[in-house]
Amino acid sequence: MKRTAQRGAAILTAMLTVTLVASFAAAALWQQWRNVEVEAATRARLQAAWILTGALDWSRLILREDARAGGADHLAEPWAVPLQEARLSTFLAADSSGSGEALTDGDNVFLSGQITDQQALLNLNNLVEAGRISEPGMRSFQRLFELLGLPPAELSRLAENLRFASDISTDNRSALQAPLMPQEVEQLAWLGVSDATVRALAPYVTLLPARTPVNLNTAAPEVIFAAVPGITLAEAQELVARRSLSPFRGIADVSRLMPQHAGSLTEGTVGVSSRFFEVRGRLRMDALLVEERSLVQRQGLDVRTLKRERGVLDSPPAPGLPDASR
């Protein structure tokens, strides 16, 4: 009886030992797997950041070469052609070294992107000039609000709060009460604008660091309608159709097409060239999808990056980027 009890205790001890060893082994294996996954994710993000930085530099080079060529900015120029999703290895294939081993990592990496003209949109900062609400800017946004069926009271609130937020002459006491200055159109709610109005405005407006005219070569009919006093939406659509056949080389070209609006075209609210562009890059690497959005300013041959935003997307969308010309 005693021998049987000892045998049972030995078996129980052995089972407990095996369980502990298995638990420790599983924990060690999980910790090792976790370290490998973290290291792989960090490495993938670093690689994505470097590739997207290279894509941004490439876009800046395209804009610089376009400035070197001179002339108006329009949608038939190389910068306006979007890059559809393509394997990174197709870009590396031009390597003169001919090392095929270097291309294997690029076979599962896909890159897409596009450059869009931010002066194809109404600039919200045109609403304020020298600490006061600008009358030409206010008229443009009144026409846009009317076209979109948005409440005029929200425009008044938007303009006043934007003036308040951007007024650098406010004292410290007033500054504490001033709303935050939005950096993106999506942040207009900070100025008391409803979410429905923000969604309606998003395709037609932008926030740029300086006052800018609307580029008639790249703007949508709704934006042209808002920017040119007295023009009808049908006439704005006609301008868009005409420029697709032959881009406008100057405001004089537009004035010849529509002499009845020649006076409105010389107010400085419209033009045919641009300084501000948005560069979008998207990288897909296995299960990782990273998108970067950058605002660049072109001053002569100098193309500077003003802002960069990068984020990891939850699920891969359809190949290529959505049209951001708005």
Q: Ranked by mean pLDDT, which of 22-36, 160-174, 257-271 comes out on top?
A: 257-271
23-62 pLDDT, tens per residue?
877 877 777 777 776 776 677 777 778 888 888 999 999 9
Euclidean distance between CA atoms 10 and 69, whole angstroms:
88
> From CA 108, how far away is CA 147, in angstroms rounded?
46
Contact 108, 285 (CB under 8 A): yes
- Across residues 112-136, what is the average pLDDT? 93
Between CA 295 and CA 208 the distance in angstroms is 9
283 Cβ neighbours under 8 A, 6+ residues apart: 48, 51, 52, 109, 110, 111, 289, 290, 291
What's the CA angle centered on 78, arms 77 and 82, to 5 degrees?
115
Task: Tell me which of 100-109, 122-131, 164-173, 273-282 is least confident.
Answer: 100-109
166 pLDDT more than 90: no
Which domains does the chain carry?
42-120+274-312 (3.30.1300.30), 122-268 (no CATH)
**Is residue 325 over pLDDT 50?**
no
Average pLDDT, the chain: 84
Q: What is the 3-state secondary structure (H, E, C) of 78-139?
A: HHHCCEEEEEHHHHHCCCCCCCHHHHHHHHHEEEEEEEEEHHHCEEHHHHEECCEECHHHHH
Q: Which residues are CB-contacts of 113 (< 8 A; sequence separation ≥ 6)?
A: 55, 59, 82, 83, 279, 280, 281, 282, 321
Distance CA 169, CA 45 (A): 43
Q: What is the pTM of this model?
A: 0.80
